[in-house]
Structure 1
Amino acid sequence: MSDFNHPSAPARPPRQSRTGVTSTGARKAGSKSNRSRAREFALQGLYQSLVGRNPVDDVDAFTRDLAGFNKADAAHFDALLHGCNEQAEQLDALITPLLDRPFAEISPIEHAVMWIGVYEMQHCLDVPWRVVINECIELAKEFGGTDGHKYVNAVLNGLAPQLRAAEVEADRAKKPR
């Protein structure tokens, strides 16, 4: 029988709080919706396309075999992966005016997250614009660089009034001045 109170016994790690977020502020896997999971898998696929220049159909097949894909919204994953790949030039054209540096200096993760955000704002009108931005911030926090989420937030907030004008204006009208 092992004695955990014995001085030579290894110390137990501190208990993790069960708030639904990790120590970095990202959501824990158990608290993610099927659409959030779809965005994560789409991000991984878009990264493979951007960095590895892998064909989207190969990326799609590979991603569907990853552990946990069965918990993702497959239709939303399809829309994001294929839609962003097909509309890459148009998405970049919308994003570029808000950048303070060339795309070559933007992390491929942040680039792909911005694609997802712009695509969703244009084509997934059932997702409120604030949710789109929040989901993209979460993706950037979890997978991107230290302050990449701030950059993504700034760019998507800059595009929201253009891509979701009526929705953004309605939200602004609700706020007390």
Structure 2
Amino acid sequence: MTDESSHLSPAGKPARQSRTGLTSTGARKAAAKSVRSRAREFALQGLYQHLVGGNDAASIDAFTRDLAGFHKADSAHYDALLHGCIEHAAELDALIVPLLDRKMEEISPIEHAVMWIGVYEMQHCLDVPWRVVLNECIELAKEFGGTDGHKYVNGILNGLAPSLRSAEVQADQASGKSRPAAA
């Protein structure tokens, strides 16, 4: 016979077994963020400062590098996103605006910045698959944006993917990995 009292919590209830990958409430633990995901988060914060406060890239960069956790980010990817999005803002907006159902001024600065990141990565970071760009931007919008902002970001970036990454999108469509973007 086993001593069941050794398996009881201080409240007298059976102790909860520790399960790998789950929090104490039974929810799944979030996977550790990649250095590139962290770079996107810091770039998003910087782009928000640019859009809302009008801060220049150099000031944003100096401030951001001193933030806690920056050392865990891919600083080269962060640089490319922050400086690239600010430098190419007009071109990025020119691609985004035709797909909007409202004026850009009515778009949340978070969603605006996330769309910049997505379009910039699709154009300039060809080592990142388009589906990864899309998923990362959706996650950014979920974490930092409004309630349904991620759906809006998804629609815009999914609408741009066939023109920005046509070969990849066509290959995914042909293999059945992706359905064509809704018109």
TM-score range with shorter-chain normalisation? 0.7 to 0.9
Equivalent in the alignment of 1:25: none
Equivalent in the alignment of 2:104: 103
Report 1:1-177 matches (<5 A): 5=11, 15-17=24-26, 19-21=28-30, 31-175=32-176
AA at the equivalent of 1:122:
Q
Gapped regions of structure 2 (runs ≥ 5): 1-8, 13-22
Cα distance in structure 2, aligned partners of 1:20 and 1:121: 29
Query: What TM-score do the two structures reach when normalised by structure 1?
Result: 0.86
AA at the equivalent of 2:82:
L
Aligned-pair CA distance for 1:31: 1.1
Cα distance in structure 2, aligned partners of 1:91 and 1:35: 21
Q: Which has the larger radius of gyration?
A: 2
Cα distance in structure 1, aligned partners of 2:26 and 2:70: 26
Cα distance in structure 2, aligned partners of 1:20 and 1:134: 18
**Which structure ranks higher in relative contact order (CA pairs < 8 Å, sequence separation ≥ 6)?**
1
- Superposed CA RMSD: 1.9
Aligned-pair CA distance for 1:17: 3.7
Equivalent in the alignment of 2:6: none
Gapped regions of structure 1 (runs ≥ 5): 7-13, 22-29
Cα distance in structure 2, aligned partners of 1:132 and 1:17: 30
Aligned-pair CA distance for 1:19: 2.2
What is the aligned-residue identity percentage? 73
Cα distance in structure 1, aligned partners of 2:26 and 2:80: 35
